[in-house]
Amino acid sequence: MPNSPEAQPQRITSPDETVQIINHRASREGFGSYCIEGAVRNISSEPEINAEIRVDYYDGDNVKIDSEVDVLPRLKPGETRGIYISYAGQKRNSVQYYRLHLSQNKKTGQ
């Protein structure tokens, strides 16, 4: 389901069920930046997980405008960490909603 600034989104769990976005919301900030805030938790017993969050931004016609990826490195079991992703691209004022995708980034050195 798309997420507007007013939406009450559901939790998002990675396909391998190791990390979970437990809450998220969007807002507009200075100069029209579209910002997403939330929290990610390691819900596994794995010692350290690199959580990869991809945000897809859409306009009012359901056309994908852009995507961004952020990585939260070394989440310990049960650890919750905040996320803050700010989109300031040229089409930032056209963003009407977003979709989040979550996975475990298995690359080392993140």
Instruction: Find the mean pLDDT for residues 74-81.
Output: 96
What domains are there in the chain, each with its CATH number?
12-104 (2.60.40.3230)
For residue 110, what pLDDT is reported? Answer: 43
Instruction: Find the mean pLDDT for residues 70-96.
Output: 94
For residue 3, what pLDDT is reported? Answer: 54
- What is the chain's mean pLDDT, rounded? 89
Residue with tokens 């437990």: 22
Q: Would the pLDDT of 108 be above 70?
A: no
